[in-house]
Structure 1
């Protein structure tokens, strides 16, 4: 496993071990699978969820940021980095777990120090105010490489912690929206766009197409763990795995799968209608959940978390 893969999940066990479940599963099947619904202080859509050194955080509609602390979810930020209430769509955490980065509508980019509670606003790099769908950060707090996925098909990136004047951009494909981006090395990773394409980079600046031929579905999520270990989730219940020589497709059903996370041969993917599937022993199987809400993102740890529409958070 690469150094980046280890570091980006380093705090899952330490922080999630302190988190307790909050409610009761809605069905016997969900009860058996272990998922419960947590109470949250928001009713707008939550679009992404991450673990940090201080615990779990989720971001969503209206620029809200919530954290799981002391056995409950609470709101720590409202209005986003600019205070304008722009929706937040993507989040990632530095390798040391101390800074949560998030991006969203109208060029919103924020860097939140989970230890001090301070917020830095990096919005509108190069005066660009397009919508941003996802973010990946590598390196330690204060010296991170930052990669922002733009709705206009561009990747905006800074190798100097997003400081003003350090941003550049590149258009990897045809200009279709970049839906998700993930890195396994300091400057090595993958993205998926709205033109049913996957791109890879080894230097953070130059992107080359990496597939997927004849997929015939939209791609929504990507988990890049190594050059030969990349997972993509998409429409029509499709999951694709790059093993270094070929893309291997799996068809789980008909739900659009918005996010995927795999580590050490075990994984989770979530999507429309509260659908969730679990990877174990090389097979993806349905894991019933206590919600019919559309799920947008998932993160694994000692306690797995998924978030979505209506402020839903499910935990296991």
Structure 2
């Protein structure tokens, strides 16, 4: 009997040990899985134009609609599920990426495609800002982030704010800091090169016509007057912030005789393939009324990057400021 009891005890002990080991193994696997999950995802609190949002990082599915952000996201290797590829210049690699669902343009957007993308975060803004409420209703679980430059805020600070927040969302804080530093350096170069008292004119060229951009108006060249302390060559009462500039005569521009003319070629970004497209440089150089203007005579006409109208991110401004600083540094 003693032998039988000992045998039973041994069997029970072995079984208990096996269960214990299985339990430890299962618990260990669960702990490891939980640890992996917790280490691979987390939540960050970010501040955008509409308040504070909790964003799960890294986001598994991303939709982006703000043209100002495309170059940054592409440079950082962020994969997009959907975006308005029709609004992207060909300088952005996303434009030809067929794996990204094309949301179309802001005039006739395919917002239902955003639902199918099931995004964790939507980087919305600029031309798609008008659809904020629609997107919030369609995908209420997604973090809807908007970082458009705000009115009455310095342009450089707003560009850096956008880059900083995107860096927090996509784990690219060091890269964001580098972009911000490059912008600061380019701005300082312009400040160092600009001679106080030199007058500046900003224009946009569209449809072969030169439009006047008022100081501190609009979203591209207007804000540079305040940023750099440029002295306007011409100020027009009741000027607008129209994206094609205000319709004033070339003769009026010539009469103001600016020392510098800054130009945005609107059509270069959206109509360069059309037969009737004329580059801004040709329009300005062939304008008879501008022939004797100081800026033209001295080669002080500086053009923004060709894709500016559909690519107004921090890199675009940094590039333009460096170009402008180069030109100003060549003065006697």
Short-chain TM bin? under 0.3
**Which of the pair has more CA radius of gyration?**
2
TM-score normalized by structure 2? 0.26
More strand by share: 1
